[in-house]
């Protein structure tokens, strides 16, 4: 059975032993309750590295005061089975006290974290950057794997790695979806059967927006309006934001040609879901 370690010291011991044998190390940071989306990252990491560490940590510092830290789903035993099947060699599953005890340091990336999800979740990316930096320093991987599902996070982490000279390659992985199009997410478990159906408005509206652009629509304003109108047809949905931005700096893109990210956050009942597409 794959080892599950709870302390920084134990995690380092494993990684140091692998390094002594000249093995490469991949890291997949997660908050657990793993699904096929996470699995795709682990499988890719296992294909590209000798040893893969999955961190399984519901990070309190990336949740706002009224968010779902307490209720976030957890199942370390199921996670261990999935990690082993996907080819990981170690799970790092610390308690918040092990990660933070008396820490006074925060890693903060400016600008990119103030837009999109950062408007509704003002402390979120500081929490993400701080915990990801810590995981990088604990595991010291050659490569780290992140999903395009959290496209803004991927963009912020890439910038942090560049700015702070982490010698780590960041690998972005495509969004894994349910058969009907809903992006896989640990938070999908919050949805009632009725909400689960309603949640399809995210992927459906994005497909429609992407088609508009594919058919030659250049105005991002028109595409955003059409996406919003499609979501608003769903009574259980409430839009947090729908935006089309430049993929490099996350600033609003007027023209739908080129390197863009169409991203949204939508509440379905009380559950906040995100989804996006990228045009390279
Ligand atoms: P989380 O546990 O939600 O913090 O996610 C951990 C990592 O898995 C992040 O890099 C996510 O972007 C990635 N991830 C989550 N859901 C998916 C998905 N449906 N497809 C691809 N990657 C995902």
**pLDDT, tens digit, for every residue of 71-114?**
999 999 999 999 999 999 999 999 999 999 999 999 999 999 99
Average pLDDT over residues 213-226: 97
Closest ligand 1 atom to the C-alpha of 32? 2
Bridge partners (DSSP) of residue 52 are 26
Q: What pLDDT was estimated at residue 280?
A: 86
Tell me if 94 sits within 8 A of 12, measured CB to CB: no
Average pLDDT over residues 163-189: 98
Alpha helices in 108-199 (DSSP H): 117-120, 124-139, 151-163, 193-198
Is 259 an annotated catalytic residue? no
Tell whether ligand 1 has an atom less than 6 A from the beta carbon of residue 89: no
Q: Is the pLDDT of residue 183 over 90?
A: yes
CA-based torsion, 173, 205, 33, 58: positive or negative: positive
Q: What pLDDT was estimated at residue 133?
A: 99
CA-based torsion, 250, 59, 134, 88: positive or negative: negative
d(CA 147, CA 130): 18
What tokens appear for 168 in the block? 């780590």
The backbone torsions φ and ψ at residue 150, rounded to the nearest 5 degrees and listed phi first, read -105, 70
Q: What is the pLDDT of residues 118-174, one digit of tens each?
A: 999 999 999 999 999 999 999 999 999 999 999 999 999 999 999 999 999 999 999
CA-based torsion, 115, 255, 204, 185: positive or negative: negative
Annotated catalytic residue within 38, 101, 124, 259: 38
- Ligand 1 pocket test, pick from 37, 44, 145, 176 with the greatest ligand atom count within 8 Å of Cβ, gives 37
Rounded to the nearest 10 degrees, the angle between the axes of helix 76-86 and helix 36-48 is 40
């Amino acid at each position: 059975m794959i080892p599950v370690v709870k302390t920084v010291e134990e995690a380092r011991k494993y990684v140091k032993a692998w390094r002594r044998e000249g093995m490469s190390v991949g890291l997949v940071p997660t908050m657990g309750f793993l699904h096929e989306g996470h699995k795709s990252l682990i499988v890719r990491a296992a294909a590209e590295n000798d040893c893969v560490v999955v961190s399984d940590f519901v990070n309190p510092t990336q949740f706002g005061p009224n968010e779902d830290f307490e209720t976030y789903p957890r199942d370390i035993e199921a996670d261990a089975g999935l990690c082993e099947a996907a080819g990981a060699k170690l799970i790092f599953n610390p308690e918040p006290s092990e990660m933070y005890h008396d820490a006074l340091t925060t890693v903060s990336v400016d600008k990119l974290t103030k837009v999109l999800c950062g408007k509704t979740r003002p402390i979120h990316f500081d929490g993400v950057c701080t915990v990801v930096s810590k995981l990088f320093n604990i595991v010291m991987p050659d490569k780290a794997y992140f999903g395009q599902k959290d496209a803004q996070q991927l963009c912020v982490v890439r910038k942090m790695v560049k700015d702070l000279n982490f010698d780590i390659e960041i690998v972005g992985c495509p969004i894994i979806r349910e058969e009907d199009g809903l992006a896989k997410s640990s938070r999908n478990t919050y949805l009632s059967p009725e909400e689960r159906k309603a949640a399809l408005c995210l992927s459906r509206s994005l497909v429609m927006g992407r088609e508009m652009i594919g058919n030659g629509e250049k105005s991002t304003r028109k595409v955003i309006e059409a996406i919003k109108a499609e979501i608003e047809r769903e009574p259980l949905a409430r839009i947090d934001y729908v935006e089309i931005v430049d993929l490099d700096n996350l600033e609003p893109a007027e023209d739908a040609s080129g390197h863009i990210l169409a991203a949204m956050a939508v509440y379905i009942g009380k559950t906040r879901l995100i989804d996006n597409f990228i045009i390279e």
